[in-house]
């Protein structure tokens, strides 16, 4: 394995040198020269991260190393990694594009993505760390039936992971196609393969460092673009608003709540879905187990929240600046028609802005950042999906705790490869979808499937296995059905004329279904097992409150 990684590393380093040499020598036009900046910077990123993966592979032996980096990540590191995990390519490209096209609506989305963090901190962070070990199913099944509740949690985790992966893969393919001149399918394969290498060899240690490096690059790159762009407006928001409203086709309506949230049901549902969806994303929840104790878990959220909030505001400024800087420059439109189709499609606003304010070097850097961003997020997702299969289903349900650590880690690695292949296939199948919208769907499922059972298991003594199963499956099935019959699948994919479910955001319907089923099926459960489960809450409660008996860190990185 060392040999393989080493040779990949050497090859990439060679490629980087060749790329530098070949760029000017080939005498290519300006646009293609851009590609070399992006490719060189991306290859450097891949080289560094593969080096880290090689280093991490030697430190990844036990299940604790593999899933949680031995619990040795500090609060600050984890905060950066959470921000790196959370700010996806859809965040950078999709939300800047949405700000460019819809203005204020994008800002509303951003607050909904952001406001989940304080709630996670106040109500969940400490209990997650005190009760969990590797996956959030450790918590939901803490005093409930190991096999059935874990299976349910693993299934809903996988549903979220797959939805989110599709969005990431599609974003990756489009981006690389445009900026690196590679075929969409080849781009998807590169992302899928690198993801497999990071996770299968380096586990959580490598994944965490990929996310930390990527978060730093993203914060730096985004800030540089935003500062350069904003300087053209004298760093005055008033000036920016004035000029944006004077040229945008929505005019002053740009800063009004617009079409995306046209009706109250959609607006509230979006708020619910994004806020509680954040609190139900398996790859985010998993990050809470990588720190040593509850204190570090709290600090993680404080830092993550700061980085995420800061960056959303940066992206919004970028999107608005692009209205004037990109939207008024014929060079960025197909056929040179202002107001026509943007070159490379609607999601390329941030990239065009980078080129406009910082030339090819900045464009190359931001492209490399966006690519790195996709890799970091898919790695986190793959690890969470792999843990759901290997830790929850294989080790706890199938082997009932008799599997050795080695066996469990091996299953995890195999699952990672399987998920990588699945992501490649689905990435190709869903090429034409809007990526910001797909992320919204993933959040809806997380909010209705994972969050209700998790929060009830931590706070409500009365939750029984039967209630958890009905609530969890009710949440998964209802959200999948609502998404299936909504326009995005029923009309756009299957080709039916009219959507049976007319709302784009399912959370407002699915969350009450999940909570309601969990409640009714728990209070009507009078079995002896239900009684024992309710009594077991008392001990769980003390552990949740004090951390006494919680998983201790085994190593530092």
Binding site for other proteins (CB under 8 A): 104, 107-108, 111-112, 114-115, 117-119, 121-123, 126, 237-239, 241-242, 245, 252-253, 255-257, 261, 263-264, 267-268, 271, 275, 294-295, 298-299, 301-302, 305-306, 309, 312-313, 538-539, 541-543, 545-549
Report in angstroms how near the CB of residue 419 gets to other proteins at its nearest.
33
Burial of 402 (0-12, 13-18, 19+ CB in 10 A): exposed
In the complex with other proteins, the residue whose CB is nearer, 275 or 342, is 275
In the complex with other proteins, the residue whose CB is nearer, 183 or 263, is 263
Give Cα separations from 12 to 63, 183, 300, 418, 522 (angstroms).
Answer: 30, 19, 33, 25, 56
> Token pair 């891949």 is at which residue?
46
Report in angstroms how near the CB of residue 102 gets to other proteins at its nearest.
13
> Token pair 């109250």 is at which residue?
264
User: Of how many residues is the chain composed?
Assistant: 557
Report in angstroms how near the CB of residue 112 gets to other proteins at its nearest.
8
How crowded is residue 58: how many other Cβ atoms within 10 Å of its Cβ? 12
Copy the structure tokens of residue 511.
């969350």
Report in angstroms how near the CB of residue 271 gets to other proteins at its nearest.
4
Give Cα separations from 506 to 239, 475, 484, 486 (angstroms).
Answer: 38, 10, 11, 9
Report in angstroms how near the CB of residue 118 gets to other proteins at its nearest.
5
Report in angstroms how near the CB of residue 121 gets to other proteins at its nearest.
5
Report in angstroms how near the CB of residue 531 gets to other proteins at its nearest.
16
Tell me which residue of 205, 156, 216 sits closest to 379, measured CA to CA: 205
What is the H or E stretch that residue 293 is in? none
Burial of 165 (0-12, 13-18, 19+ CB in 10 A): buried
Q: What is the 3-state secondary structure (H, E, C) of 134-185?
A: CCCHHHHCCCCCHHHHHHHHHHHHHHHHHHHHHHHHHHHHHHHHHHHCCCHH
Report in angstroms how near the CB of residue 503 gets to other proteins at its nearest.
13
H-state helical runs in 181-293? 184-231, 237-247, 264-278, 282-287
In the complex with other proteins, the residue whose CB is nearer, 309 or 462, is 309
In the complex with other proteins, the residue whose CB is nearer, 198 or 230, is 230
Q: How far apart are CA 399 and CA 240, in angstroms?
A: 61
DSSP state of 291: B
Report in angstroms how near the CB of residue 104 gets to other proteins at its nearest.
6
In the complex with other proteins, the residue whose CB is nearer, 10 or 548, is 548
In the complex with other proteins, the residue whose CB is nearer, 298 or 399, is 298
Angle at CA of residue 334, ends 221 and 32, nearest 5°: 55
> Token pair 């728990």 is at which residue?
522
Report in angstroms how near the CB of residue 243 gets to other proteins at its nearest.
10
In the complex with other proteins, the residue whose CB is nearer, 52 or 112, is 112
Q: Is 199 in contact with 474 (CB distance < 8 Å)? A: no
Q: How far apart are CA 314 and CA 303, in angstroms?
A: 17
Burial of 81 (0-12, 13-18, 19+ CB in 10 A): buried
In the complex with other proteins, the residue whose CB is nearer, 112 or 366, is 112
């Amino acid at each position: 394995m060392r040999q393989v990684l080493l040779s990949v590393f050497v090859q990439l380093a060679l490629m980087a040198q060749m790329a530098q040499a070949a760029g000017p020598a080939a005498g290519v036009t300006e646009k293609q020269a851009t590609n070399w900046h992006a490719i060189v910077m991306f290859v450097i990123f891949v080289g560094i991260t593969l080096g880290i993966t090689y280093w991490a592979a030697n430190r990844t032996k036990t299940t604790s190393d593999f899933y949680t980096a031995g619990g040795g990540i500090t609060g600050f590191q984890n905060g950066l990694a959470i921000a790196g995990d959370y700010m996806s390519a859809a965040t950078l490209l999709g939300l800047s594009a949405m700000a460019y096209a819809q203005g204020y609506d994008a800002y509303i989305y951003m607050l909904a993505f952001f406001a989940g963090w304080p709630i996670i901190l106040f109500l969940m962070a400490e209990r997650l760390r005190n009760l969990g070990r590797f996956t959030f199913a450790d918590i939901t099944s803490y005093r409930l039936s190991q096999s059935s509740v874990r299976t349910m949690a693993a299934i809903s985790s996988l549903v979220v992971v797959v939805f989110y992966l599709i969005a990431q893969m599609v974003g990756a393919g489009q981006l690389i196609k445009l900026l690196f001149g590679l075929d969409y399918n080849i781009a998807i394969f590169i992302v899928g393969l690198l993801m497999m290498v990071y996770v299968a060899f380096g586990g959580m240690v490598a994944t965490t460092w990929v996310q930390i490096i990527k978060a730093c690059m993203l914060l730096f790159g985004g800030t540089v673009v935003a500062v350069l762009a904003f300087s053209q407006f004298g760093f005055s928001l008033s000036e920016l608003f004035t000029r944006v409203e004077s040229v945008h086709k929505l005019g002053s309506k740009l800063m009004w709540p617009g079409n995306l949230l046209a009706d109250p049901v959609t607006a509230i549902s979006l708020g619910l879905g994004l806020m509680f969806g954040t609190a139900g994303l398996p790859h985010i929840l998993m990050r809470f187990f990588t720190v040593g104790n509850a204190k570090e878990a709290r600090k993680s959220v404080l830092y993550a929240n700061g980085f995420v909030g800061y960056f959303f505001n940066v992206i919004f400024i970028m999107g608005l600046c692009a209205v004037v800087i990109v939207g008024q420059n014929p060079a960025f439109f197909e056929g040179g028609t202002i107001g026509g189709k943007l070159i490379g499609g609607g999601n390329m606003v941030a990239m065009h802005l980078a080129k406009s304010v910082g030339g090819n070097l900045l464009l190359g850097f931001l492209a490399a950042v966006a690519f790195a961003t996709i890799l970091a997020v898919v790695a986190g997702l793959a690890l969470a999906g792999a843990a759901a299969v290997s830790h929850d289903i294989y080790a706890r349900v199938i082997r009932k705790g008799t599997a050795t650590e080695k066996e469990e880690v091996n299953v995890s690695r195999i699952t990672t490869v399987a998920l990588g292949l699945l992501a490649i296939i689905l990435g190709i199948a869903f090429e034409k979808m809007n990526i910001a919208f797909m992320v919204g769907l993933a959040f809806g499922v997380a909010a209705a499937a994972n969050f209700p059972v998790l929060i009830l298991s931590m706070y409500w003594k009365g939750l029984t296995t039967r209630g958890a199963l009905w609530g969890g499956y009710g949440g998964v099935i209802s959200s999948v059905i609502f998404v299936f019959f909504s326009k995005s699948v029923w009309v756009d994919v299957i080709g039916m004329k009219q959507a049976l479910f007319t709302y784009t955001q399912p959370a407002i319907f699915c969350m009450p279904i999940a909570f309601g089923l969990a409640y009714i099926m728990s209070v009507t459960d009078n079995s002896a097992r239900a009684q024992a489960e309710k009594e077991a809450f008392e001990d769980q409660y003390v552990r949740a409150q004090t951390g006494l008996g919680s998983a201790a860190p085994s190593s530092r990185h």
